[in-house]
Amino acid sequence: MPSYFDDAPEASGRLLAEERSGDNAPALSVSELSGMLKRMVEDRFGHVRLRGEISGFKRAASGHVYLALKDESAVIDGVMWKGTAGRLAFRPEDGLEVIVTGKLTTYPGRSKYQIVIEQMELAGEGALMQLLERLKKQLAAEGLFAPERKRPLPVLPRIIGVVTSPTGAVIRDILHRLADRCPTHVLLWPVLVQGEGAAKQIAAAVRGFSALPESGGPVPRPDLVIVARGGGSIEDLWSFNEEVVVRAVADCSIPVISAVGHETDTTLCDYAADVRAPTPTAAAEMAVPVRSELLAGLADLGLRGARAVRRQVDHRRERLMMTARLLPTPETLLAPQRQRSDDLGERLGRGLRQRLTLAWRHLADAGGALRLPLLRQRVGRERMRLDAVRLRPDLVTRGIVQRQERLEATWRLALSLDPRRPLSKGFALVTAGDRVITSATAAREAGHMTLTFHDGPISVSAGFGVEPEGAKGLSSPPRKGRRAPEEPAARQAQQDLFAARDEKL
């Protein structure tokens, strides 16, 4: 069977590679070849400008940016180092058409070539407007441009904060217009209004005004903030379209007027602000009223108020006079009372005289009844009544004797009921703990008992099954015809004790 190596050339049939004399193509390592390609590409394409659409945009944790640029038929990878990415004037996104400047190089680790981007710009105004429209839709979807977020401007702000360039004509126009209309204290926060880093400075200024304390701080807090810039192209005004600026204006706790560009210029900052002014001068006019017009208005209101007060006073005076004509005069109101007073005065004199006559009559009748024999007779009767109710010693003594006898009987009864008095006659008190034993059954159940005599207690134990001799003789026979009730021995002994005590007494 023929072998594969039978048809191979003689050189390919060798097992080991050998260097032959006159060979001008020595073997290269992969790294050497990669290095040669890298130097060749970098020397040939050290500075190139590419136009393409961004695809696969990704920002690594290190800050470097990786992306791909593509057109209808080709794709090239690109990388942008952290320092270059931080200086971009816009935020790259997939789908944007851009023009990049950089140099071509190779990446030996993956055997591919790529472009190291040193500068990135939007490819024309159409791409810029596309980016602007995309960002506008995104922020509008979050509600940053909603009408209900808009706040009314203060009528007469005491302090106005202005965010703009300190060297431009904008701040001079605003100050001049404010001085003409209504002089107001102005705080200027100087910022860049275009170029690299302008958006961050504008956002920091707006947030700085919003973070000032309302009272007690070293810098007074403004009542109104104006974000202003003169006119320019869309590239010049792009800083006010940056997301960081739009979010700062939307989040500001102070009402904001956006006055960016001319009347035909519109930025995303205008949508996020509470009020949009066509020009910075118009923003100053919106911020404060005309002082002379305000004073004239106040004077007019004062005159109108004074006229209204006088009109009301005159109207009330006229109504009072008309009402006063309908009221009766004081003489008419007091005439009946005066007549009644005179009538009562006459009746009072007559009544006093009649009352005095009746009093003299009653006094005469009472004086006739106060005769000396009648008084003596009345005193005698009262003395006899007093003698009848006077206390006699025998009645008092009899009551004392009766109560003393009752007290002695009660005392004897109390002595007879004393449970310890029979102990001196040979009786004993049987207890088990705190319980008094009154029957033999209770004694058998208790087992251990205490017998208390008149001179002290002793502890005993009950015998089980042994009945002492003569125990039957202690109980009295029941009466004939009726069953004797079962009574404890202690109760019978107590009754006998009471009987003996009664016999003694």
Render pLDDT for 85-119 as a digit per residue (tens, 0 to 9).
Answer: 888 877 788 777 888 898 888 877 777 888 889 88
Residues 72 and 221 grouped into a single domain: no
Asked if residue 432 is part of any domain, the answer here is: yes
Is residue 82 within 8 A of residue 125, CB to CB? The reply is no
Supply the pLDDT for residue 392: 65
Supply the pLDDT for residue 473: 40
Asked if residue 6 is part of any domain, the answer here is: no
Confidence of residue 259 (pLDDT cuts 50, 70, 90): very high
What whole-number distance in Å separates Cα of residue 222 and Cα of residue 206?
Answer: 11
Inform me whether the pLDDT recorded for 30 exceeds 70: yes
The total number of structural domains in the chain stands at: 4
Confidence of residue 21 (pLDDT cuts 50, 70, 90): low
Inform me whether the pLDDT recorded for 466 exceeds 80: no
Rounded to 10°, the helix 198-211/243-251 angle is 10
Inform me whether the pLDDT recorded for 46 exceeds 90: no
Supply the pLDDT for residue 254: 94
Residues 214 and 71 grouped into a single domain: no
Half-sphere exposure of 238 (CA within 13 A, CB side): 21
Supply the pLDDT for residue 277: 93
Q: Which of 53-67, 166-180, 296-310, 407-421 has the lowest mean pLDDT?
A: 407-421
Residues 272 and 302 grouped into a single domain: no
Residues 186 and 103 grouped into a single domain: no
Residues 160 and 209 grouped into a single domain: yes
Instruction: Give the residue with greater pLDDT, 504 vs 242.
Output: 242
Supply the pLDDT for residue 126: 64
- The pair of three-digit structure tokens given for residue 452, joined into one six-digit string: 């208390």
Residue carrying the six token digits 């159409």: 126
Q: How far is CA 89 from CA 52, 58, 121, 134, 310, in A?
A: 18, 17, 8, 16, 67
453 forms beta bridges with 456
What range defines the domain where residue 166 resides? 132-145+156-289
Inform me whether the pLDDT recorded for 495 exceeds 60: no
Asked if residue 392 is part of any domain, the answer here is: no
Inform me whether the pLDDT recorded for 261 exceeds 50: yes
Residues 102 and 137 grouped into a single domain: no
Residues 281 and 160 grouped into a single domain: yes
